[in-house]
Amino acid sequence: MPIRNRITRWLSPSLFTLIAFCFLLPFATVSCDAAKTTFTGAQLVTRTVPRGGVLDEAPDCSSDISVCVERDASTTATIALLAVLIGLALGLIGVARGPGWCAAVGFGALLTLPFLGPFFGPDVRMHSGWTLALGLSAFTGCVHIRRAWRRRRARRNRAALPRSTSSTA
């Protein structure tokens, strides 16, 4: 197997693995008044965001800031991580058409994370885990768009070729 084919075969699963590892890095810091918490993507997904102080922001949030962060963003982070893990699994078994959609869903979910919750209130600072996951998701999506374009072009070229007929003489 030529080295180019090996790289092409393992590029997508490798990118999805890197995105999954980004969930172990610091994702964000959320602060409001005197309450402040910093968490990883894995803590957000597992709903174990560290406590950071009590808020009195009725009706939006009137408990610890970690509870508010989990309530507002955990589902979206879970969707992003599930999309990444499904894309990884599809890439490992060699499915061509699914991983691109998984990259798009993961990218979309990650992109919306900073904007969840009340518009006026908490100060949200995104960190390296989120930035890397977002960038790698975008790159993975571009890789799969390119692959889809090549598959489409190959189909068109095959359809344009004249069919050979066997003649008996």
Q: Tell me the domain boundaries of the chain.
A: 3-148
- Tell me what pLDDT residue 98 has: 86
pTM score, two decimals? 0.83
Class of domain 3-148: mainly alpha
Residues forming beta bridges with residue 125, ordered by sequence position = 29
Q: Spell out, as residue ranges, where the chain has pLDDT lower than 70.
A: 1-9, 56-62, 118-121, 163-169
- Tell me what pLDDT residue 46 has: 96
- Tell me what pLDDT residue 15 has: 95
- Encoding tokens for residue 142? 């571009």
- Tell me what pLDDT residue 62 has: 67
- Tell me what pLDDT residue 32 has: 83
- Tell me what pLDDT residue 1 has: 59
> Which residues, at least 6 apart from 88, have a Cβ–Cβ distance to it below 8 Å?
13, 16, 17, 20
- Tell me what pLDDT residue 97 has: 82
Q: Listing from the earlier edge strand, what are the strands of the sheet with 123-126?
A: 35-40, 26-32, 123-126
Residues forming beta bridges with residue 126, ordered by sequence position = 28
| Alpha-carbon span 148 to 73, nearest angstrom | 32
- Tell me what pLDDT residue 116 has: 84
- Tell me what pLDDT residue 155 has: 80
Residues forming beta bridges with residue 61, ordered by sequence position = 57
